[in-house]
Structure 1
Amino acid sequence: MADPTVAALLEWQGSRRRHVLEQVEALTEPERRAARLPSGWTPLGLVQHLALDVERVWLRRVMTGADVELPLGYAGWTVGPDVPADAVLEGYRTECALADAAVVDLPSDAAPAWWFDGGEPPYDTLRDVLLHVLVETATHAGHLDVVRELADGGQRLVLDEP
């Protein structure tokens, strides 16, 4: 049986993942590839970043030591024009499923198995890593809310007038 803390955090993470996918899927193809902010990231680039730099790195590589390909620098944020949007979205779904499968049976106090250059990871337990992943995903979901509203006026949270 899964550790209740791990199960609860994965459930919350699943909700944030769905939020990310809903916002990007609601955008048109050109808007998925458009940079709306001065930093230059695109919604598809953000989804790929979450797949490779967050789900793959933190949950599969850091927590289990799995031998997975790691993106270098900002490669995770870059989606070429020849890469279909559906492939990026499906890649995210796949990485999320693999990440869940990698950690679901670990105890919440499991220590990370790997860190860059053999150094000390910034977090001591799976619980801490899951909280980091959850916060990062939620933060980026908020970024996508802004991009979505700028792109087509779509609002996930509609405030009533006072």
Structure 2
Amino acid sequence: MTAELTALLAHLAEARGHVLAAVDGLDEDDLTRPVAPSGWSIAQLLHHLTYDDEIFWGCAILGGDEEAAAEIQDGWRLPVTTGAEAVEGYRRWVSRTDALLAEVDLDAPARWWPPQDVFPFPPFADARACLLRLLVETTTHAGHLDLAREGIDGHQHLVVP
């Protein structure tokens, strides 16, 4: 593993930890009730992070995982069963993504790219760009979860004491 990949994966692990810290201790009602004007719940955001980021970018595109590619669906539209299942699903796919990312060559092309009718965008130049997309998505949504959590119980994720 290169120093660059090690650093990127460390930042990704930190962002994922931030996501999980933002939802830690919330009960089922808090995880599944709408928290944004658009109507999304924390569980729906976790589905987005799971399906549209960990499964899509991490496992399928970067990892070339055929089972993950078969699981691709719009995480925002996926019905929420329980908040606990959304958290567990996110944890499970993060673990699977990590195993695949440990072997990624950042200079190589993505190991898989979806068909045009599924994702009508040209392939990224290399795996590095795909990993950066996963990192940006995760950190962005960690911030969204911070705002949602603060609205629920006042908890703040402070990075500077």
Tell me which interval the TM-score lies in, with the shorter structure as reference length: 0.7 to 0.9
- 1:84 match: 82
CA contact (8 A) 2:11 2:135 kept: yes
CA RMSD of aligned residues (A): 2.1
**Unmatched 5+ stretches in structure 1:** none
- 2:58 match: 59
- 1:21 match: 20
CA contact (8 A) 1:5 1:127 kept: no
TM-score, structure 1 normalization: 0.85
Change (3 A) 1:97 1:158: closer
Give CA-to-partner distance per residue, 1:12-37, whole Å, 9 cap, x none.
Answer: 11111111111112323211111121
Change (3 A) 1:58 1:159: closer
The alpha-carbon deviation at position 101 of structure 1 amounts to: 0.9
Give CA-to-partner distance per residue, 1:49-85, whole Å, 9 cap, x none.
Answer: 111110111121112322123333x3455343xx232
SS in 2 for 1:142: helix
Figure out how many residues of one structure are paired with residues of the other and give that number. 155
The alpha-carbon deviation at position 108 of structure 1 amounts to: 1.6
Change (3 A) 1:136 1:158: closer
Greater RCO structure (CA 8 Å; 6+ sep): 1
**Unmatched 5+ stretches in structure 2:** none
